[in-house]
Amino acid sequence: MSIVRLQKVLARAGVASRRAAEELIAAGRVRVDGRIVTELGTKVDARRARIEVNGQRIVAEPSAYVVLHKPRGVVSTMHDPQGRPSVRELLADAAVRVYPVGRLDFATSGVILATNDGDFAEALMHPRRAVPKTYVVKAQGAMEPKDLDVWRRGVELEDGRTLPAKVKLLRHEGDKTWIELVITEGRNQQIRRMGEATGFRVMRLARVAFAGITAEGLRPGEWRYLTADEQAKLKTEYGVPRRVVSPPARERRGARKGPPRDEHARDDRMSRDDRTPRDDRMPRGELGGRGGRSRTTGTGGGIGAGEGNFRVRGRRG
């Protein structure tokens, strides 16, 4: 039995953020088993209760786990006030509505996971899990062994020293340096700030792995479902997902494509030889995703629950 707070169910359904969900409840717009509920903190059986928002019922939907090769020039939120392209368009063909696990900077390309499983997202983003994130970095300047050691030990930033990192020199190209960097933190603009703090401006940045999941074989803008083996490995190492699910049959044949690529899309293509960028080129019926920010992903709207995700039956979002 899954007894949780009502606003948490609404947030996980993508109806609204938890705070916005509380406002919906207080306004008398939510019914549980036919009764209007206005008391905040009300707990419900998320699997058995009939929950309605504005007369539309929330129904269970299957969990989904996706890996996307995010191109540069795309925001990793579900909506951008400035009107820039977002991962929402790239993931529009998924069988269920999914939301990104964490973020990648607008100018950074590479691996980003997406899901409708709130427990999955929260576990992989929690600092105590120390989930590794692997990047390929192109920096201005010829980094020497002592410079790499500074990055390994931790760089002093305005919000504190970074945790120790793994750093591997890939190559030098004149006065530029390519490195592979593995960090377990998720601070805003962390790697770019590390570069500025040490005098090595980051020129290109691509994430090539997140928790061991790569985007190998995916072009920028393409995505695929995580395989059962990948899910099982994540479950063994991080405890999520709680249940391994089979990807939809129609998606097992390969990746889904996002919007047509322009001439700059090739800048994000990764080398299969060493998975480093080539020279200067870097690798239903829902009511949700509009109400605010989820506390687990930082993206617009809520995300799905690990015990079974929900959507609002009615018009398609």
Instruction: List active site positions.
Output: 105
CA distance 21 to 25: 6
Question: Nearest Cα to 163, choosing from 145, 140, 187?
Answer: 187
Helix (H, G, I), strand (E, B) or coil at 149: helix
Kindly list the distances between the CA atom of residue 102 and the CA atoms of 145, 185, 190, in Å, as whole numbers in the listed order.
31, 11, 14
Residues 291, 78: contact at Cβ < 8 Å?
no
Beta bridge partners of 114: 66, 100
Residues 109, 70: contact at Cβ < 8 Å?
yes
Give every CB contact of residue 52 below 8 A, 6+ residues apart in sequence. 30, 31, 32, 58
Question: Nearest Cα to 101, choosing from 255, 276, 240, 257?
Answer: 240
Give me the phi and psi of 126, to 5 degrees please: -70, 130
CA distance 119 to 6: 16
Q: Which two tokens stand for residue 111?
A: 């691996």
Distance of CA 11 to the CA centre of its chain: 17
* DSSP conformational letter for 96: S
Residues 211, 183: contact at Cβ < 8 Å?
no
Residues 289, 78: contact at Cβ < 8 Å?
yes
- The H or E element spanning position 121 is helix 118-125
Q: Tokens 């059986």 map to which residue?
A: 45
- The H or E element spanning position 307 is none
